[in-house]
Amino acid sequence: MRTITVLGATGSIGQNTIDVICRHPDKFRVFAITGHTNLNALVQLALQCSPRYIVLSDPQAYTAFAKILKKENCHSEILVGAQALDDVCCAPEVDTVMSAIVGAAGLLPTLAAVRTGKRVLLANKESLVMSGELFMNAVREHKAELVPIDSEHNAIFQCLPHDFEYGNLEKSGITKILLTGSGGPFRTLADESFDSITPDQACDHPTWTMGRKISVDSATMMNKGLEFIEAKWLFGLHEDDIEVVLHPQSTIHSMVQYVDGSIIAQLGNPDMRTSIAYGLSFPDRITSGVEAVDFSSLTDFSFSKPDQNRYPNLYLAIEACKQGQAATTAINAANEVAVDAFLKGQIKFTDIAKVNQHVLQKTDFIELTCIVQVLEHDAEARILAQQIVRKLN
């Protein structure tokens, strides 16, 4: 029986995680769920999975939330604030933590889980983008078990040999990691229409149903850039080992190419419950609620190279990856600010790349030797990004 804390339970990954967990009451129990603003969803989830603890970010929401829980006859205990997020990750009863808070806010609780040697199911890619080397060092030092949940990295994890040695592609006869991306909703949109893209259009992903921040990232392909950096740290890769391939159908979730000409791919319908189920039950397989691909209904199965003019953010992120940790921390922070401003209607879709490029250009390439420095660097990049947003507004 695994005992699980779900960080970001009210989000897309969080709710899918509870869905998979509830399909297997003999295998999993929920210790804690956490939410930020969506208190209605948090109550429904509590009724669905009966966690011992519910964590709210905002202490002021406590009284109203407690009343609702009492009315619903729900006996979970309510905790509040940042320390509580860490506590429900570190508790000795917990062996598995799903890291599904979006953005930089996910870093500290995820690290708390790593530092107490938990199995960490990593959906929050921003943690690795911000702090890759420090994060992976902590995984090794505390013997945490890191299982990638991001569909591409979960696919790569499944396609690597079981005895894969971190960073040693040659030993396993691997020549390349092929990271697939859909290209988002604007893959074929005329160039002149990009300036008038609305938040709802950007969040209307062609194949996946996801939260709004990652949906915008998919539309700009910053998501693939973040995933490029994530892959580097998860598997110990060099930038030249990774190739981004456009695959609009999102049926192949990524591939590993071997020296003998073999390419091993992981395929499936675009539904995150497959990766989540694999992470929860690894190395066993369990049902997830996802149907297998029906090949007779696949009308198209295509591949191409992403165009630099259409997707400047992808190439900015790859550039940052080559520059190092300070650059990836900065571009991640800039992107969070820019996407938030775009979603609030303050800047245009095309301005996201302008903010990211500007912050990347201004970044000092200092060495970040501890998490406090990472957070300081993140905060500085956010201030810079906000200044540019104000100018563009």
Chain positions contacting Mn ion, by CB under 5 A: 150-152
Question: 107-115 and 125-141 helices cross at what angle (nearest 10)?
Answer: 20
Q: What H or E segment, with its residue span, contains residue 83?
A: helix 82-90
Residue 115 host element (H or E): helix 107-115
User: Per rule CB under 6 A, is residue 339 in the interface with ligand DXP?
Assistant: no
Which does residue 335 bind out of ligand DXP, Mn ion, ligand NDP, none, counting CB within 5 to 8 angstroms by kind?
none
In angstroms, the first-to-last Cα distance of the chain is 52
148 interacts with, out of ligand NDP, ligand DXP, Mn ion, none, CB within 5 to 8 A per kind: none
| 150 near ligand DXP, judged by CB under 6 A | yes
- The residues in 256-285 that bind ligand NDP, with binding defined as CB under 6 A, are 272
Among ligand DXP, Mn ion, ligand NDP, none, the one that 218 touches (CB under a kind-dependent 5 to 8 A) is: ligand DXP
- Nearest-approach distance from CB 125 to ligand DXP, in angstroms: 8
Which DSSP string corresponds to 92-105? TT--EEEE---SGG
Q: Which is nearer to ligand DXP, 216 or 388 (CB)?
A: 216
What string marks each residue from 41 to 70 as x (binds ligand NDP by CB under 6 A) or -? Answer: ----------------x-------------
- Single out the residue of 334, 305, 153, 166 nearest to residue 230, CA to CA: 153
CB within 8 Å of 352: residues ≥ 6 apart? 216, 220, 222, 313, 335, 338, 339, 342
289 a known binding residue?
no
- How far is residue 78's CA from residue 31's CA, in Å, rounded to a whole number? 12
Which residue type does 292 have? A
User: Is 125 a residue that touches ligand NDP (CB under 6 A)?
Assistant: yes
Binding annotation: 10-13, 38, 124-126, 150-152, 182, 205, 211, 218, 223-224, 227
Binding-site ranges for ligand NDP (CB under 6 A): 8-14, 35-38, 57, 100-102, 105, 123-126, 150, 208, 210-211, 213-214, 272
